[in-house]
Amino acid sequence: MHIETRAIHTARKPDPITGAVAPTLVMSTTFARDENYAVPGEHIYGRTSNPNRRALEEVYATLEGGAAAIAYASGQAASNALFQCMNPGEHVVLPREIYFGTRALFDTHFLRMGIEMTPVGGANLAELRAALRPNTKLVWVETPSNPLLQITDIAAAARAAHEIGAACVVDNTWATPFCQQPLALGADVVLHSTTKYFGGHSDVTGGALVFRQDDALYARARSVQGLGGAVPSPFDCWLIQRSIPSMAYRLRAHTEHAAKVAEFLAEHPAVSAVHYPGLASHPQHAIAREQMRAFGGMLSFETTGGREAALRTAGRVQLFKRATSLGGYESLIEHRASVEGPASTAPAGLLRCSIGLEHPDDLIADLKEALES
């Protein structure tokens, strides 16, 4: 069955008692046993499982083509859980250009646990291979990367990880399973901030890990969650599940609009660079074409006037909201260096855009006005 159909029909059987077609929200934290003290359904206690969470996990797993998935209260909680599966003395490889929260989480809380780390240029496979050690357990890939949209060859990174017995995790937040399927390319785990395109409406925070196999790493991550208690609320799960049936069509529009905006920006004299994997001029366009079904709704660009011009442009747009995050129906623009602070490696003149579902001609007119006035 195609992904669009699975997004609509997975874990959405009508309620057996009421016939309700929309999923029922189950807020109960505890589930009754029968007179023989047997558990009639699959749920006992809300921390360990809940019907809305279980349904959402089934959808996450099917969309990424995984054997199992775990839903979290945020993307960071998912990353935290994966790092918690490591032992002291083990080693991870992280891309230098990574979501800055992932790096901050690792540096602040896992280096002090005695887990070792080497940062590498994600798109540079030779550098990645050189960083591998006998104790490497996790190779982290984020593609397209934030904020320069560099593309890492997922199949090659996974092969390199497997040669030394490490797992390869791909943060697939920006691409989503509708644009890229890392597990089919050989990755072992997919990570999502479902706050972004899965939620799609900028009104719910969530995260996910999807595992290619029901293996020891999955069992450990499941145990970390069951005992550690990092669970999303039933209502948050319900909200995210509500957004998923429209997701394939949102991603098509995000991609189509982003391509148009990228082409406009690439021709504009006040723009010195456009970072979008769908442009033929993108340095890893060939890999992107091979491993992505569509190029997604995120892009960034640099202004010829540097930091001042970038801030001026961001200050003048009318439709784009000046806000962090991505993946909602509304377009967002962000001066990444300001958001990330002094440790930021983002170019000073760079603006990152989450291209929304407005008519692309209106978005282009808004940017044109802001760049030229």
Ligand X SMILES: *Cc1c(COP(=O)(O)O)cnc(C)c1O
Stretch that binds ligand X, among 40-48, 74-82, 256-264, 284-292 (CB under 6 A): 74-82
Residue among 134, 86, 92, 131 nearest 113 (CA): 86
Judge whether 47 counts as a catalytic residue: yes
Out of 52, 143, 150, 173, the residue judged to bind ligand X by CB under 6 A: 173
Give SS3 for 181: coil
Cα–Cα distance measured from residue 195 to residue 250, given in angstroms and rounded to the nearest whole number: 15
Stretch that binds ligand X, among 40-48, 69-77, 109-117, 151-159 (CB under 6 A): 69-77
Cα–Cα distance measured from residue 216 to residue 236, given in angstroms and rounded to the nearest whole number: 28
Q: Which CB atom, from 62 or from 173, has the smaller least distance to ligand X?
A: 173
Q: Does 207 bind ligand X (CB under 6 A)?
A: yes
Q: Which CB atom, from 51 or from 75, has the smaller least distance to ligand X?
A: 75
Q: Which CB atom, from 179 or from 371, has the smaller least distance to ligand X?
A: 179
Q: Does 200 bind ligand X (CB under 6 A)?
A: no
- Distance between the two ends of the chain, CA-based, in angstroms? 50
Residues 36 to 55: which contact ligand X by CB under 6 A? none
Q: Does 195 bind ligand X (CB under 6 A)?
A: yes
Of the candidates 72, 99, 197, 218, the residue annotated as catalytic is: 99
Cα dist from 326 to 35, 41, 146, 194, 200, whole Å? 50, 38, 11, 10, 8
Of the candidates 103, 129, 196, 352, the residue annotated as catalytic is: 196
Q: Does 349 bind ligand X (CB under 6 A)?
A: no
Q: Are 224 and 270 in contact (CB under 8 A)?
A: no
Judge whether 196 counts as a catalytic residue: yes
Cα–Cα distance measured from residue 15 to residue 76, given in angstroms and rounded to the nearest whole number: 33
Q: Applying CB under 6 A, what is the total number of residues that bind ligand X?
A: 16
What phi and psi, each to the nearest 5 degrees, are found at residue 158?
-65, -40
Q: Are 76 and 20 in contact (CB under 8 A)?
A: no
Cis bond before residue 234 (omega within 30° of 0): no
Out of 76, 180, 255, 303, the residue judged to bind ligand X by CB under 6 A: 76
Cα–Cα distance measured from residue 137 to residue 230, given in angstroms and rounded to the nearest whole number: 23
Q: How far is the CB of 199 from ligand X (least distance, A)?
A: 9
Of the candidates 171, 188, 236, 366, the residue annotated as catalytic is: 171
Q: Does 146 bind ligand X (CB under 6 A)?
A: yes
Paired tokens of 208: 């996910």
Residues 82 to 141: which contact ligand X by CB under 6 A? 99, 101-102
Q: Does 74 bind ligand X (CB under 6 A)?
A: yes
Which strand (E) or helix (H) includes residue 107? helix 100-109
Q: Does 331 bind ligand X (CB under 6 A)?
A: no
Judge whether 45 counts as a catalytic residue: no
- β partners of residue 93: 118, 139
Out of 62, 143, 180, 193, the residue judged to bind ligand X by CB under 6 A: 193
Q: How far is the CB of 195 from ligand X (least distance, A)?
A: 4
Out of 23, 51, 66, 75, the residue judged to bind ligand X by CB under 6 A: 75
Which residues, in sequence order, are CB contacts of 171 under 8 Å at separation 6+? 98, 99, 102, 140, 141, 142, 143, 191, 192
Stretch that binds ligand X, among 43-51, 72-80, 159-167, 278-286 (CB under 6 A): 72-80
Q: Does 205 bind ligand X (CB under 6 A)?
A: yes
Q: How far is the CB of 105 from ligand X (least distance, A)?
A: 9
Cis bond before residue 144 (omega within 30° of 0): yes
Q: Which residue has the tokens 């904020």?
A: 147
Q: Which CB atom, from 280 or from 343, has the smaller least distance to ligand X?
A: 343
Residue among 278, 280, 355, 344 nearest 317 (CA): 355
Judge whether 366 counts as a catalytic residue: no
- β partners of residue 302: 273, 350
Residue positions annotated with a catalytic role: 47, 99, 171, 196
Interface residues toward ligand X, by CB under 6 A: 74-76, 99, 101-102, 142, 146, 171, 173-174, 193, 195-196, 205, 207
